[in-house]
Each structure stands twice: as C-alpha cells, then as structure tokens.
Amino acid sequence: MDIENKKLHIEVTSRCTLKCAACPRTTWKEITKIPFPKQDLNIDDFVKFMDCEGGRKVELLQLCGDYGDCIYYPDLIEFIKTFRNKKFRLHTNGSHGSPKFWNDLCKVLTEDDEIVLAIDGLEDTNHLYRKNSNWKSIMQAVDILSKSSVKLAWQTIIFKFNENQLEQIQELAESKNIRWFSLKTHRYEDTNLIPTKESNIQTHYLFKPEYTNQETFEIEPKCYRIKTVGSDGIFYPCDWIRNPRTLYSSQLWKDRYWLDQLHIKNTNFDNANKIIKDWSEHVRSCGLKGNAEVLCKMKCRKEVSCHD
C-alpha cells in the first residue's frame, strides 16, 4: 500500500468556538450572512466506509478541521475508541475544554498518538487571530496534556503581531516540554495580520492574475495524496477546495455527481480512491486544455511541492 493511503485527513465536526479571520466558517458567514451549519461525522457511516481492504490498512487518522475543531465533536472519545487500532493526530486550538474533558481524552490516547496545539501567540496576542480563544483554558489543557504519554506539538502561524515574539513563544512551548514549530501562510483576510517581512509569508501560493486566463498549466494533482473526509460525510479530493470561495465555483460542485459518488454512505474507502484517481486525471487534463481551476493552478502547478 502506498504511503499516501496510510493517512486519512478527517474533519469530524464543523463545530468551533473561535472566529479566526481566514477560517472558512468565518468566510461562509461573511458571504451568506448566516452561521455555518453544525455537522458531525456519523460514526456508523464511517465504520462502514472504512470496512474494506484499503480502509483497514490506513494507519493514521488525522483529525484536523477546516470549519470545525475536533475537540468540540460530541462523539470524539467514542470515535477514538472505535478506531483504537489506528494512530491519531489531533489538531486543535485548545480553547474552552474542561479539565475533565482533557483528562478523559488522555485516557484514550497513547504514546503513539499526537496532539498539535494551534497557538499563535502569547497571552497578550494569541486572541488577535484566534478570536474568542481563552488563554487560561489553553494553558490548563497544556498542563494536563504535558503530564500524559501523548506526543505534543505547538504550531504557530506567523502574523504581523507575533513575528517578533516567535522566540518567546518557542521558549514557552519548550518550557512545557512541547515540540514547537512555526508555519507561514498566504491567507490573512485582514491586511493588518500580514507580516512586515516577506520572508514570513508563504508567497509561492499567492494568487496571480494569470491564473484566471485560459492558459495551459502543467498540473500535478495531489488529489490522490491529500484526501479529506468532511463533517458532511463527503470524501473530498483535498481539503483546500472546501473553502466556500472555491468549492461553489468549482467544477467539482458543478458536476455534483462526483460528490454524490464520494459520500461515505454511497461508497467505501477503496472505491472512493478509484473515483479520486479518475478526478485527478480530469484535473490534469484540464490543465493541459487551459481550463484548470484557479485553486489547482495555485496549489498543484508543477513547480509547487506539497506541504501538508
């Protein structure tokens, strides 16, 4: 089994307490003027979806949301217990969880699992992007988790407000015995968040006007590598396309039979991978014809390498 199929990215819920500027749920509300609907992955449907040769060979379930945060999934503990024969990597903002929740979570996780805490600043700055986050509850979670056997990582996205705090943030993380790393981004929504140093911006993913032209681009689709099961139960070619600014203008949405075939109620992991492979060839041919999606040109043009 190829390495791409040993990991599966899952958004178990669309629930989140934060209002981050560049989050798809924030964008959704700005566009539609209504909150993003609450969606929780159905465990029974997912069990059936994974009950096939390829599903059983998946080794790592990465719970990382586009719209939601896995710690707000009402069935998180049950979900982990159901798939306890696999490793887990949980990505979370770490806010508003009770001590009981974190202690219960630690009981079902092992030293083979990992929690990645998305913390973008210190007490005086983290909330500037991660609006509605609660520093006291985050530090409470850190203290509980650091006493468990689970592996911990602290992820900091670089913004204008924290680019001069990175060393302090790293020191705080490492003082808690947590592995720290920083990430550059190209998504800000609020221009006040853009770092002053271009070296701190993920420039190779920035939009360029020529991407809207009907020019040929050699596309190397990463659909087969970066697959995501959304909280709506759809097995998407990638998580990037799920943003409301890209999904609803995409060919994937216009030709919705692709999405119908990819709902976990209608297929299993093996068959869904075959459909994704067909879709990736469609994406490749669109590039050669000059009508590839703008998103595909930004993320999957030949010279761009994949960054999970």
Tell me: the pLDDT tens digits for 182-205? 999 999 989 999 999 999 999 888
40: three-class secondary structure by DSSP: strand
CATH number at 3-197+226-247+262-267: 3.20.20.70
- For the record, the structure tokens of 96 come out as 């508003």
Which pLDDT score, from 0 to 100, does residue 4 have? 56
Strands of the 235-236 sheet, one edge to the other: 179-183, 151-157, 114-118, 87-92, 60-63, 7-10, 228-229, 235-236
Count of alpha carbons within 13 Å of 146, Cβ hemisphere only? 16
pLDDT of 225 > 80? The answer is: no
Give the strand pairing for 151-157 and 179-183.
parallel
- Over range 107-133, report the average pLDDT: 97
Which pLDDT score, from 0 to 100, does residue 212 have? 86
- For the record, the structure tokens of 130 come out as 């991660």
Question: Comparing 120-129, 269-278, 291-300, which segment has the lowest mean pLDDT?
Answer: 291-300
**Model confidence pLDDT, tens digit, residues 20-34:** 999 999 999 999 999
pLDDT of 226 > 90? The answer is: no
**Model confidence pLDDT, tens digit, residues 242-266:** 999 899 988 889 988 889 999 999 9
Look-up of token digits 């024969």: 85
Count of alpha carbons within 13 Å of 179, Cβ hemisphere only? 7
Which pLDDT score, from 0 to 100, does residue 305 have? 54
Residues 6+ positions from 296 with CB-CB distance below 8 Å: 217, 219, 221, 283, 286, 287
> What amino acid occupies position 3?
I
The better pLDDT of the pair 206, 145 is held by 145
Look-up of token digits 């959704």: 28
280: three-class secondary structure by DSSP: helix
The better pLDDT of the pair 307, 257 is held by 257
- Beta strands per DSSP E along the chain: 7-10, 60-63, 87-92, 114-118, 151-157, 179-183, 228-229, 235-236
8: three-class secondary structure by DSSP: strand
47-61 as b/e: b if 16+ CB within 10 A:
ebbbebebbeebeeb
Which pLDDT score, from 0 to 100, does residue 306 have? 47
Mean pLDDT for the chain overall: 93
pLDDT of 1 > 50? The answer is: no
Which pLDDT score, from 0 to 100, does residue 5 have? 63
- For the record, the structure tokens of 290 come out as 């000059």
- Residue 139 has φ and ψ, to the nearest 5°, of -65, -30
Count of alpha carbons within 13 Å of 182, Cβ hemisphere only? 19
Helices 135-145 and 99-108: crossing angle in degrees, nearest 10, is: 30
User: Residue ranges of the domains in the chain?
Assistant: 3-197+226-247+262-267
Residues 6+ positions from 100 with CB-CB distance below 8 Å: none
